[in-house]
Chain A
Amino acid sequence: MPRLTIEDLQKIKEKHRATFTLREGGYRAKITVHMGTCGIAAGARDVMTALMDEIANAKVEDVIVATSGCAGLCAREPMATVEIINHPPVKYGDLKADKIREIFKEHIIGGNPVEKYALVVGSETTY
């Protein structure tokens, strides 16, 4: 490590913000990918991989990803729930990699739910 200056301390702190947002809480949005047997069979893994990829590319630091079990509507898997703090959660169904990428850009970054993929708004809250 090169010699640090006081500014460097701040830079290191910024650089690791995402990690500590994750560990300490205080995130802005949470995306839950439903990964029950039905979800996995329907392709939830691809959805998850695409989502992680989007997050890494967008360099957002206040978004966390969680997994949960079957959401109960197995026919519409893969499903994901997007919760933005202080907004009602939105459940999406019949997802694919490209759809979650679109949702990420429109909803999580842009703040506008993607109606064409949305199943329901305002279901269970998990945060």
Chain B
Amino acid sequence: MERFRANLMLCAGTGCVASGATKVRAALEKELKKRGLKEEITVVLTGCNGYCAQGPVMSVLPDEIFYQSLTVEEVPKLVEEHFLKGRPYEKLMFKEPEKKLAIPLMKDIPFFKHQVLRVLRNKGLIDPEKIEEYIARDGYQAAAKALTQMTSEEVIKVIKDSGLRGRGGAGFPTGLKWEFASKVQSKVKYMLCNGDEGDPGAFMDRSVMEADPHAVIEGMIIGAKAIEAHNGYIYVRAEYPLAVKRLQMAIEQCYDAGLLGKNILDSGFDFDLEIYQGAGAFVCGEETALMRSIEGKRGMPRPRPPFPAHKGLWDKPSVLNNVETLAQIPLIILNGSGWYRSLGTEKSSGTKVFALTGAVNNIGLIEVPMGTPLRTIIYDIGGGIKKGRKFKAVQMGGPSGGCIPESLLDLPVTYEDIVKTGAIMGSGGMVVMDDNNCMVSIAKFFLEFTADESCGKCVPCRVGTRILLDMLADITEGRGKEDDIETLQDLSRDIITSSLCGLGQTAPNPILTTIRYFMDEYESHISQKWCKAGVCRDLCTFFIDEELCKGCGACLRACPSKAIIGEKKKPHKIIQEVCVYCRTCYETCKFNSIKILPAGAHEPKHMLVETKT
């Protein structure tokens, strides 16, 4: 490899490619050539950097200068200023949302500063399509160690001692899972990887597969050694084309290099690995359904026991681990269980990757030690709520999880603490919501998802989720009845206890947690026909508070149905017959003068006291 004086680590994750990284790369290379810098500076395409909201992003090493929102138009200036003249180009640097001051160094940016990278150790640092770069960062050293210096029992013991728990969501101890499968006698066993990430808003596994595919493969080789499996599959959804491509490339490189196939690294151990592309059904993330899907059958779960450790894929002993779990294995083998436990808590060791999204300023992919308070994640790393709005809830665990209110924000993020709230750790989706969100509608959104994705095999899930969804629809459309809340809770509990698989057993969680923490919203929807967030169109009326309105005309211009009238500098008015309840005026008004009242309200003045601002 040639020597360069600077490496431009351009993010080529799905997010940044969507925002134009490919064109920026071409422009950068063209400009570097034009300026005669081609021999000195190289552009390296990396996996997801994590700071997706500001893509395309690039970090300049060794300078550690971080650039964001790159455009083809800005490239010539950037190259001239920074790379030719050595003056970092302030215009494209990160700016703290509140302060607007340019902060050039990556390690000083709050979004990066609070993170500890283990799973994402190679993000933005290596080119995921080059196996040499992975090897240069200690890649395959752990596999070599496990295959030549350790017995299966030793491998399992280290993983057990590390306290690593399955990162797919349920948090089952990984070492224990391996131990069960290793104790079953069978000539044929399977080592499987679950890359069927399906929670809305979650993209941790995709990023790992895209940014560091070899870490997943190495984890699988070590797992295969532990359970004595010689065949494996990576199950990835076909909607992740870049992840599939990079994994495929990585597998081919491994076969070429003798890191997969017969006699890996001359250790005498054989392991064959291939990719199985799933069609994207949510239920196929459930282990037994995933295995049926690989077998070519319809992806449906079956009752356990027998557990996959005894009868899994093609009824052979199998272990299925999540992408993030596997990516940590090489580190644990190399550094030991004590090192792994140095972060996190007693029962939840290590770090966890989260996809932080929703109403926060810094949307992206983050990795923090277990036990980090939610508040740190949302306010320090996430940079607080967008537009200075008020925090309302954070949704964790996707459709299987729940909503955590502000009163619990100081909760440390561990498996045990999150479960106590009624939510779950889940695979790591973290959707932050501000006061513009109606919690009943949020519950309905997730139920729409689970009712759609229910495979239909068992009645509680197939019929139950549908009934829950219908009831939520009734409540949001003004047909809610007094005893609905109780019925929702009862039915939810029944579905949880009687469903066949994890999908049904967790599907009611969004309802139960929103009722638990936001009971008043359900009550106002049902008894007052009032959606205070103004989301449910049938349960709100928009009024302009004449005393607060400055007559600036912003709402008048923004209203798509021309329902607002008024003269400049005089209070405006909404013509109720024309209003389509789109909330545009509410979000546009800078003076808080738009008030949301119950459906059919006529006299706003006496009710204004009750509205919250």
Q: Which residues of A contact B (CB under 8 A)?
A: 1-6, 9, 12-13, 15-20, 22-25, 27, 30, 32-37, 40, 45, 48, 52, 55-56, 64-69
Contacts and interface: CB of A to CB of B under 8 A. Distances in A.
B257 A52 contact: no
Interface in B45-88: 61-64, 83-87
B148 A1 contact: no
A18 B135 contact: no
A23 to B, nearest CB: 4
Nearest to A26: B62
Contact of B257 (A3, A22, A23, A56): A3
A67 B4 CA distance: 13
B597 to A, nearest CB: 58
Contacts of B99: none
Contacts of A15: 1, 132, 136
Given A22-B62, A66-B63, A12 B86 contact: no
A17 B136 contact: yes
B566 interface: no
Given A16-B132, A56-B2, A66-B86, A4 B62 contact: no
Contacts of A17: 136
B100 interface: no
Quick one: which of A23, A37, A48, A55 has the most chain B CB within 10 A? Answer: A23
Interface residues of B, number: 40
B9 interface: yes
Contacts of A30: 62
Contacts of B133: 16, 19
Contact of B3 (A2, A9, A56): A56
B5 A19 contact: no
Contacts of A24: 61, 125
B265 A4 contact: yes
Contacts of A4: 140, 257-259, 265
B265 A6 contact: yes
A23 B62 contact: yes
30 contacts: A1-B131, A2-B257, A3-B257, A4-B257, A4-B265, A6-B144, A6-B265, A9-B135, A9-B140, A9-B141, A9-B144, A12-B135, A12-B136, A13-B135, A13-B136, A16-B1, A19-B4, A22-B5, A34-B86, A36-B85, A37-B85, A40-B84, A40-B85, A52-B3, A52-B5, A56-B2, A66-B62, A66-B63, A66-B86, A69-B87
A11 B345 CA distance: 37
A43 to B, nearest CB: 14
7 tightest A-B contacts by CB?
A67-B86, A3-B258, A16-B136, A65-B5, A68-B86, A23-B61, A12-B135
Interface string B1-42: 111111101000000000000000000000000001001100
Contacts of A9: 135, 139-141, 144, 265
B557 interface: no
B295 interface: no
A116 to B, nearest CB: 26
Nearest to A34: B86
Contacts of A1: 131, 253, 256-257
B416 interface: no
Contacts of A6: 144, 148, 265-266
A60 B7 CA distance: 17
Nearest to B140: A9
A2 B256 CA distance: 7
A55 B6 CA distance: 13
Nearest to B133: A16
B83 A22 contact: no
A25 B86 contact: no
A13 B86 CA distance: 30
B40 A48 contact: yes
A87 B342 CA distance: 35
Nearest to A68: B86
B570 interface: no
Contact of B125 (A23, A32, A35): A23
Quick one: which of B9, B84, B138 has the most chain A CB within 10 A? Answer: B84
A67 B85 contact: yes
A12 B132 contact: yes
Contacts of B479: none
Contacts of A68: 86-87
Contacts of B136: 12-13, 15-17, 19-20
Contacts of B137: 20
B266 A66 contact: no
Contact of A69 (B5, B64, B85): B85
Nearest to A14: B136
Contacts of B259: 4
Given A1-B257, A24-B125, A66 B135 contact: no
B116 to A, nearest CB: 16
A27 B62 contact: yes
Interface in B79-112: 83-87
Quick one: which of B5, B125, B265 has the most chain A CB within 10 A? Answer: B5
Interface in B238-277: 253, 256-259, 265-266
A67 B81 CA distance: 10
B266 A18 contact: no
Nearest to A127: B62
